[in-house]
Chains A and B, each alone.
Chain A
Amino acid sequence: MGDLDCFNQLVSRWERPIYALAFRTLGREEEARDVVQEAFLRAFRGLKGFRGQAKFSSWLYRITLNLCRDWIRRERRAPVVQLAEGVDPIEVADERMAPTESVEDLVARKEMSEAVARAMSELPEEQRIAILLKEFHGLTFQEIADQLDCPLSTVKTRLYQGLSVLRRRLERRQAEEASLRRAHWEGSST
């Protein structure tokens, strides 16, 4: 099996997680696609220099994160929460609905997803990336420290601070929603 075949197999194995990392870091689908494409191109070009001293996935994560950071610095903007224009969440939920899940549950899940995305986008970049690597990619504290070139204790601090801020924002959102619902019911009852 040649280098190309091996590489294509690696790509098919890692494409989805790498796209997920890029999307959650940038918040933009199109840019995430570009980053994934560029990450694999760079990985292929650097394949001969990759001696296997680290895991292939770690190497790929590092390339992807560097590209994401470059993009954020170049564009000088924080990630956004990309909401599809003109898309009815109920329709989307209907399309994705599992047989055991009601439309209301799916709409609520989608709204929760957007709320989490929004809260994450407001976090400082280093806290956001630490949470992403831990929660969605299952890296150990040490692996995250290697990715971010920082001490292990810093990783734990960033995780703790990031999760604490997220908790406050999500609790505030839930409180606002409850308030809106109460106002809606009171308005409709009078």
Chain B
Amino acid sequence: MCNEREKLIGYLYDEGDSSERDAVRQHLETCGECRVEIASLRSVREDLAAWEVPEHGSVWRPFAAAPTPPWWQHVPQWALAAAAGFVLVAGAAGGAVTHAFMPHGSQAVQTSPAGATRVSDTAELAGLQRQIEQLRADLVAASNRTQPAGVTTVPVMDDASHKALVRELDELRIQTYNQSLAVESIYANLGQSRKDFVASLGRLRSQVEGMAAVLEARSSGGQQ
């Protein structure tokens, strides 16, 4: 019995099998060592009761129902970013197709002022940049807007929960901003790809013209 701590603890807290507690009670009548042990454990429990928790006010304030966000705020951030990317890609592709099918033969080049093609590209680029800025502004505004304009709510959260929500909001803002940067990056890459493509087309054209010249020279040599 003297080494069975579990039974002593069950007796100390008056918890467990009643027959077991009875057995401990009978044992205590004959075992001075266990009586001392139980008495000292009870003394510690009394000392523990002196441990106070400092006075404190309420650390919690009730929740308030959040205002219902408009439908477009339910659209995931990635979907907004994807939509923005799609608009940009579609715009750029349209620009590329238009550029490819526009008449830009020798006459057009001769009658246009020098650098007209570059001016057209610059204007297109500026237009696309404006679209990007608008999309980015819309995304940021969407993440900033947490309630309908003109509606005021009584602050019911305490500082800690308010801080937690502000942190979450900040993270969303950062995510949104990063996504807008990604969209810009996609556009920049697209522009570079377009330039590379035009350059490679130019090189191909030169090669074809060179080969055509060689073929022509050979055929004229053969005829002679």
Q: Write the residues of chain A forming the contact surface with B, with a CB cutoff of 8 angstroms.
A: 2, 4, 7-8, 11-12, 15, 19-20, 23-24, 29, 33-34, 36-38, 40-41, 44, 96, 109-110, 112-113, 116-117, 120, 131, 134-136, 140-141, 153, 156-157, 159-160, 163-164, 166-167, 170
B45 proximity list for chain A (CB < 8 A): 135, 163
Q: Is A11 a contact partner of B62 (Cβ separation < 8 A)?
A: yes
Q: Is B160 a contact partner of A37 (Cβ separation < 8 A)?
A: yes
Main SS at interface, chain B: loop
Q: Is B63 a contact partner of A44 (Cβ separation < 8 A)?
A: yes
Q: Is A8 a contact partner of B62 (Cβ separation < 8 A)?
A: yes
Residue of A nearest to B165 (CB): A41
Ordered by A's residue number, 8 sampled pairs between the chains whose C-beta atoms are within 8 Å are A4-B62, A12-B60, A15-B59, A15-B60, A23-B53, A120-B51, A135-B49, A167-B43
Q: Is B44 a contact partner of A112 (Cβ separation < 8 A)?
A: no
Q: Is A167 a contact partner of B54 (Cβ separation < 8 A)?
A: no
B6 proximity list for chain A (CB < 8 A): 153, 156-157, 160
Chain B 126-168, CB-CB to A under 8 Å as 1, else 0, gives 0000000000000000000000000000000010110010000
Q: Is A36 a contact partner of B54 (Cβ separation < 8 A)?
A: no
How many contacts A-B (CB < 8 Å)? 94
- Closest chain-B Cβ to A117's Cβ sits at a distance in Å of 6
Chain A CB within 8 A of B29 CB: no
Besides A120-B51, A135-B49, 19 other CB < 8 A contacts? A4-B64, A15-B58, A15-B60, A23-B54, A24-B51, A24-B53, A33-B160, A34-B160, A37-B158, A96-B55, A116-B48, A140-B15, A156-B9, A160-B5, A160-B8, A160-B9, A163-B41, A163-B44, A167-B43
- Closest chain-B Cβ to A121's Cβ sits at a distance in Å of 11
Chain A CB within 8 A of B52 CB: yes
Chain A CB within 8 A of B50 CB: yes
Chain A CB within 8 A of B91 CB: no
Q: Which residue of B9, B15, B49, B56 is within 8 Å of A19 (Cβ)?
A: B56
Q: Is B10 a contact partner of A116 (Cβ separation < 8 A)?
A: no
Chain A CB within 8 A of B69 CB: no
A112-B50, A131-B48, A141-B16 known; A33+B43 contact, CB < 8 A: no
Residue of B nearest to A140 (CB): B15
Q: Is B48 a contact partner of A135 (Cβ separation < 8 A)?
A: yes
Chain B 186-200, CB-CB to A under 8 Å as 1, else 0, gives 000000000000000
A140 proximity list for chain B (CB < 8 A): 15
With A and B bound together, what is the CA distance between A96 and B54 in angstroms? 11
Q: Is B44 a contact partner of A29 (Cβ separation < 8 A)?
A: no
Chain A CB within 8 A of B33 CB: no
Q: Is A113 a contact partner of B52 (Cβ separation < 8 A)?
A: yes
A34 proximity list for chain B (CB < 8 A): 160
Give the residues from 27 to 78 in chain B that come closer than 8 angstroms, CB to CB, to chain A: 40-41, 43-45, 47-56, 58-60, 62-65
B59 proximity list for chain A (CB < 8 A): 15, 19, 33, 36-37
B101 proximity list for chain A (CB < 8 A): none
- Closest chain-B Cβ to A102's Cβ sits at a distance in Å of 16
With A and B bound together, what is the CA distance between A135 and B44 in angstroms? 11
Q: Which 8 A-B pairs have the closest CB atoms?
A: A8-B62, A112-B50, A160-B5, A116-B51, A156-B6, A37-B160, A156-B9, A167-B44
B48 proximity list for chain A (CB < 8 A): 116, 131, 135-136, 166
B51 proximity list for chain A (CB < 8 A): 24, 113, 116-117, 120, 136
- Closest chain-A Cβ to B132's Cβ sits at a distance in Å of 36
- Closest chain-B Cβ to A111's Cβ sits at a distance in Å of 9
With A and B bound together, what is the CA distance between A87 and B44 in angstroms? 28
B49 proximity list for chain A (CB < 8 A): 135
- Closest chain-A Cβ to B164's Cβ sits at a distance in Å of 7
A4 proximity list for chain B (CB < 8 A): 62-65
